[in-house]
Amino acid sequence: MNMFKDAGHLFRVAVVFGVIGLAFLGIRVLLVPKSFGQYGHYRGNAMTEMAARPVNFAGHQACEDCHADVLEKKKSGKHVHVNCEACHGPLAKHVDDPGSVTPAKLDTAVLCVRCHEANIAKPKGFPQVASVDHSSGVPCDTCHQPHSPVIDGGEK
Amino acid sequence: MSITRRHMLLILPAAAIAWKYVLAGAPDAAPNYKMSEHWWGMLIDLPNCIGCGNCVRACQVENDVPDEYFRTWVERYHVSDYDIENPQVDSPDGGKKGFPSGKAEGGKNFFVPKLCNHCADSPCTQVCPVGATFISPDGVVLVDKTYCLGCRYCVQACPYGCRFINPKTSTAEKCTLCYHRITKGLTTACCEACPTGARQLADLKNPNDPIHEFLKTHDVQVLKPYMATHAKVFYNDLDGSVR
């Protein structure tokens, strides 16, 4: 058979290609993370890593476990559905260590106007004031209690 | 029959491929959280939005979002009575510090909070060349920052402009729907901080979630439905001029 007279050359080339192919597969196994392709064309462990991030906002449930008195006060007022951290800010550190990390006292003159300053685009039914006309800079908690803001005996 | 060199050449690649699956092992899932039981989305109840910017600030604190970049932001629309197709939109610093009062010029004025729509058919995940962004089995579009090259394909692909390149890490970043919170049974930081309940996390696979009743009884739309992205951020009472 003349055709296969020089088959030895072909065999050597095949061996070289085979070795390169094996090296590629070997390196690929080493470099591709274990969880790649677990759920799709991405690294499955990426989700576990993202889920492991610590939280900054503890969630209102954590606040209510200890501060039942404030919850009771809020129940009678318009702010009943406003979560604690909406005003007090993120306090997961306070939940973890209530003794040494204490929330800062809030400045109601700044805080209340974030929501209640009059704005053309706010829903019409939402209580809004032009703070300069309303109180000329006097802190809101001089008259209103933030946890239940209606003034006793006053207009609602 | 003895194993010749030729046989080895056939066996070794097959063994290498098989070994990869041996190494994969079992997933270390978060305790008590099964991805297959959730399909996350969000409800934005526009008539309740007061544009206070609490969500923007909360998101920045919770997720270390750099200044002047936003995973969520609030836009204010002014739709003139005479040109309803071309609304004026402003969003100073993403609405983080609130909005100027504005002049009474008539027309329609309202706020629209924006965030990643966590599309079920997301254009951004389809263009990623390296598998760094993906839809998780619980329906959240996420970025694996250890895999991201920062090539910006996804930033261009998002029809809602919800992605950016983090200047510190040079990787793509976006709303994760607070994946680290929702897997722990908490709501997102923006929903936690929203004082009026205008933003509500929704689990579409949970039959007891109030979202189902809400969708049945309200006039709810998604942004850019003609893009067929199957967005999962639902806007109640959305004006037709919002893009």
CB-nearest to A35 from B24, B183, B187 is: B24
Is the pLDDT score of B230 beyond 90? yes
Chain A's closest residue to B112, CA to CA, is A121
Of B193, B168, B83, B70, residue with least CA distance to A63: B193
pTM recorded for the entire structure = 0.86
Beta-carbon contacts of A1 under 8 Å, excluding residues fewer than 6 positions away, are none
State the pLDDT confidence band at B15, using cuts at 50, 70 and 90: low
ipTM beyond cut 0.90: no
> Would you place residue B167 in the very low, low, confident or very high pLDDT band (cuts 50, 70, 90)?
very high
DSSP H/E element including B89:
strand B88-90
Q: Is A120 on the interface with B (CB under 8 A)?
A: yes
Whole-angstrom Cα distance, residue B197 to residue A83? 9
Residues in chain A with CB shorter than 8 Å from the CB of B48 are 123
Q: What is the pLDDT of residue B19?
A: 54
pLDDT digits (tens, 9 = 90+) for A10-39: 899 999 999 999 999 999 999 999 999 999
Contact B203, B40 (CB under 8 A): yes
From CA B183, how far away is CA A47, in angstroms rounded?
A: 10
Q: Does position B21 have pLDDT exceeding 60, yes or no?
A: no
The pLDDT score that the predictor gives to residue B16 is: 60
The domain of B232 spans 49-119+196-236
- CATH number of the domain to which B100 belongs: 3.30.70.20
Asked if B220 and B211 count as a contact pair (C-beta separation under 8 A), the reply is no
The reply to whether B71 falls in a domain is yes
Q: Which two tokens stand for residue A119?
A: 């704005």
CB contact under 8 A, A21 and B13: yes
Backbone angles phi, psi at B62, to 5 degrees: -65, -35
The percentage of residues in chain B with a pLDDT greater than 70, rounded to a whole number, is 88
Q: Are the beta carbons of A48 and B27 separated by less than 8 Å?
A: yes
A145 DSSP 8-state letter: B
Residue B2's pLDDT is 66
Q: Give the tens place of pLDDT for each residue, B66-102.
A: 999 999 999 999 999 998 889 999 999 999 999 998 8
For chain A, which residues make up each domain, given as ranges? 7-51, 56-102, 105-156
pLDDT tens per residue across all 156 residues of chain A: 577 777 888 899 999 999 999 999 999 999 999 999 999 999 999 999 999 999 999 999 999 999 999 999 999 899 999 999 999 999 999 999 999 999 988 888 889 999 999 999 999 999 999 988 998 888 898 899 999 988 765 444
Question: Is the CB of A57 less than 8 angstroms away from the CB of B104?
Answer: no
Q: Is residue B152 scored above 80 in pLDDT?
A: yes
Total domains in the fold of chain B = 1
φ/ψ of residue B188, rounded to 5: -70, 165
Question: Could you tell me which residues come within 8 angstroms of residue B205 by beta carbon, excluding any fewer than 6 positions away?
Answer: B37, B38, B39
The pair of three-digit structure tokens given for residue A101, joined into one six-digit string: 């990390």
In angstroms and rounded to an integer, the radius of gyration of the C-alpha atoms of chain B is 22
**Using CA atoms, how far apart are residues A70 and A147, in angstroms rounded to an integer?**
7
Alpha helices, DSSP H only, in B139-178?
153-157
Q: Which conformational region is residue B192 in: left (phi greater than 0), alpha (psi within -120 to 50 degrees), or beta? A: alpha
pLDDT given for residue A155 in this prediction: 45
Q: Rounded to an integer, what distance in angstroms lies between the CA atom of residue B89 and that of residue B100?
A: 13
Contact by Cβ (8 Å): B207, A95: no
What dihedral do alpha carbons B42, B43, B48, B54 form, nearest 10°?
A: 0
Give the percent of chain A with pLDDT over 70: 96
Determine the residue of chain B that is closest to A114 in CA distance.
B52
